[in-house]
Amino acid sequence: MAFILGERYQSQLLPARIEDYIGPEDPVRVYDAFVEKLDFKELGIDLNPNQVGAPEFDPKAMVKFLVYGYAYGIRSSRKLERAAHHNLSFMWLLGGLKPDHKTIARFRRTHQEALKKVLKQCVRLCLGLGLIEGNTLFVDGTKLRGNASLKQSWSRKRCEEVLQRTDRRIERILSECEAVDAAEAESDSLVHLKQDLANAQKMKEKVQEIMAELSASGAPRLNTTDSECATLKGKQGTGTIAGYNVQSVVDEKNGLIVHTDVVTDRNDSGQFWEQINRAQETMDRKCTVACGDSGYANISSLKGVHEQKVKVIVPPAVNSHATAGGEFAKDRFIYDEQSDTYQCPAGHTLKYRKSNEEARQRIYQITQPRICHDCPHFGVCTKAKGGRSLVRLFDEELKEQLEAQYRESDSQAIYRIRKQKVELPFGHIKRNLGVQSFLLRGLKGVRAEAALLASAFNLTRIVNLLGVTQAVHQLGCA
C-alpha cells in the first residue's frame, strides 16, 4: 500500500492576503460582525485615535480577540498570544496584530467594567433579531473556583491556633538560642536559629494583620489571595472550594443567556428577585413567567417578583422539620385565623409564642409540654422537651399560594423544561470549554469573565441557529 507523504520544502503559490485564508462560512466572521456592532461609547472604551500618549492596540481588535478566545476556551493571556501567532482565524480577526501576553492581560484587567457590559449589548442585539422573547425566564446558579487556594482562607479560629503554635515555636527557638549562644557563639547552628526566629516572627505579624482585617470587615473568613472570594461547598464531589456563586438567567425560546452575575452567597436563596429584576432591566421589558429550582424558595425574594405580576414557578424548599413524621407534617396541622392557633392531628392546640422579625416568622408551640409527653405519638411527631412547635411565616398565605401555583399542570410543563434550558450553558462552559475556575480575581474581574463566557455562549448558539452567512447578514442589519 502506498503512503501519501507531505513535503514541507515544496515551493507553493499561497494567497498574499490573510482575508483569503478565511472562507465565507468560517464562524470567526460572526464574532467579528458582532463586535463591530457594539457601541464602544456605551461600553466606556474611547476609540479616539488622536489620544495623547504611546500608541496602543485597536480596542475593537482586542475585544474581538477576547470574545473569540473565550468562545473556544482559550482564556490564558499566554495561550491567546500563541494563538495570535499560529492560528489563522485569530490572525484574520486581529488583522495580523500580535499583542504579547502582558498587553492582553493589561487590557483585560483595565477594561473589566466594559467587558461586563458586552453581554447587555449582546442580549439587546438578540432581542432585535427575535432570538430572545423574554416571556419565560429560568434562573440557576453554579459554583466555580476562584483564582485562589482554599489553604489561604483564614478564619478567626485558625488565626488563633496558628498564633498559639507560632508563640510556642518562638519560645522554643529563643531557649535554643540562649543555650547555643552560651556554648558556641559563632556556630552555624546559631545562624540557622536566628533565621528560624525571624521567619516565625514574620509569620506572627502576618497572622496578626489577617486577624485585624477580619475584625475590621466582620467577615467570618478571609482569603489572602483573593479577599473577595468565599468558601463554598461545591457540587459533584468537588468538596469545599474557594470560589464564587455564578448566577445565570436564560430565555426559554432558544436558551440564550439574558443576564449573568457572580455573588459570594453560599446558596441561591435570596437571589431570585435580584437576578430576574436585572434580567428584565437588560431586556427593558417585563417577563410573564419566572422559574427556578427549590434553592430559590425564599418567600421574601419570590414576593418581589410576584408583586410585579409575574408568574413565579419555584418548588417549595425541602424542610426536614416541616415534613417530620409524615402524618405530622406541618400541612397536617389546621390553622385557625380567628384564634391565631394551630390544631395538631391529635387534637391539641399550639398557640402563638413569639415572633422573629429578622426571619419574618411567628413561632407556635404546644400550651403545656406534658401534653406532648403524654401523647402516644411523642417521639414521632416531636422529641423536643418543650413539645411540638411550628413556624408560620409573615407571608404564609403567599407561600401557600405560590406552592399551589407551582403544582398547576401548566406550571409543571414549564418546570420540566427548566433543566434543558438553564443548565445547558453551564454544561457547555464547564465541559466543552473546560472552564473549571476563574482567571481574574475580585468580584469585578470574575463578573467580567462571566459576562464574556455568557456572550461567547450566545454567539455560539447564534451560529448554530442561523448559520454563519445568515448570522453575519442579520448582525450587519441589526
Q: Number of structural domains, the chain?
A: 4
| Residues 124, 102 share a domain | yes
**Residue 178 grid coordinates:** 540562649
Residue 140, classed as helix, strand or coil, is: strand
Judgement on whether residues 445 and 465 belong to the same structural domain of the protein: no
Say whether both 246 and 193 belong to one domain. no
In terms of domains, do 23 and 93 share one?
A: yes
- Domain-located, residue 340: yes
pLDDT of amino acid 62: 95
Query: What is the pLDDT averaged over residues 188-195?
Result: 63
Q: Which residue has the higher pLDDT, 182 or 431?
A: 431
> Which tens digits make up the pLDDT trace of 360-379?
888 999 888 888 988 988 88
Position 401 in a domain: no
Average pLDDT over residues 323-331: 68
- Is 215 part of a structural domain of the chain? yes
Cell numbers placing 139: 434562573
Establish if 323 belongs to a structural domain: no
Q: What percentage of the chain has pLDDT greater than the value 70?
A: 90
Lowest average pLDDT, out of 213-227, 386-400, 419-433, goes to 213-227
What was the pLDDT predicted at 186?
53
pLDDT confidence of 107, banded at 50, 70, 90? Answer: very high
Q: Is the dihedral of CA 29, 34, 39, 43 positive or negative?
A: negative
Report if residue 164 sits inside a domain: yes
* Domain end point (choices 223, 241, 274): 223
Q: Is the pLDDT of residue 455 over 80?
A: yes
8 inside domain: no
Residues 158 and 85 placed together within one structural domain of the fold: no
- What is the C-alpha end-to-end distance of the chain, expressed in Å? 55
In this structure, are 23 and 114 located in the same domain?
yes
pLDDT at 184 > cutoff 70:
no
Q: What is the mean pLDDT of residues 162-181?
A: 71
CA–CA dist 382, 90 (Å, integer)? 66
Element (H, E) at 172: helix 156-183
Whether residues 241 and 216 fall in one domain: no
My answer on whether 182 and 84 are in the same domain is: no
Confidence of residue 465 (pLDDT cuts 50, 70, 90): very high
Contact 244, 171 (CB under 8 A): no
Bridge partners, 217 (sequence order): none
Average pLDDT score over residue span 23-35: 94
Same domain flag for 140 and 263: yes
Verify that 142 and 175 share a domain, yes or no. no
Neighbour-count burial for 301-332, b at 16+ CB within 10 Å, e otherwise: bbbbbbeeebbbbbbeeeeeeeeeeeebeeee
Final residue before a domain boundary, out of 223, 256, 286:
223
pLDDT, the chain, mean: 86
pLDDT surpassing 60 at residue 329: yes
265-276 pLDDT tens trace: 988 988 999 999
Q: What is the pLDDT of residue 291?
A: 96
Same-domain pairing of 141 and 290:
yes
Together in a domain, 28 and 112: yes
Q: What is the mean pLDDT of residues 342-346?
A: 90
pLDDT at res. 187: 53
Give the domain extent around 122: 18-129+458-477
Query: What average pLDDT does this structure show over 347-364?
Result: 88
pLDDT tens digits, one per residue of 216-267? 766 777 777 888 888 888 665 567 888 999 999 999 999 999 999 999 998 8
Please provide residue 251's backbone torsions phi and psi, each rounded to the nearest 5 degrees: -85, 145
**Is 2 inside any structural domain?**
no
Number of other residues whose CB lies within 10 A of the CB of residue 477: 9
- Residues 293-318 pLDDT 10s: 999 999 989 999 999 999 999 998 76
Collapse the DSSP code of 51 into the 3-class scheme (helix H, G, I; strand E, B; otherwise coil) and give the result: coil
Q: Any idea which of 160-164, 318-322, 407-411 has the lowest mean pLDDT?
A: 318-322
Q: Which amino acid is at 197?
A: L
Q: Is the pLDDT of residue 324 over 60?
A: no
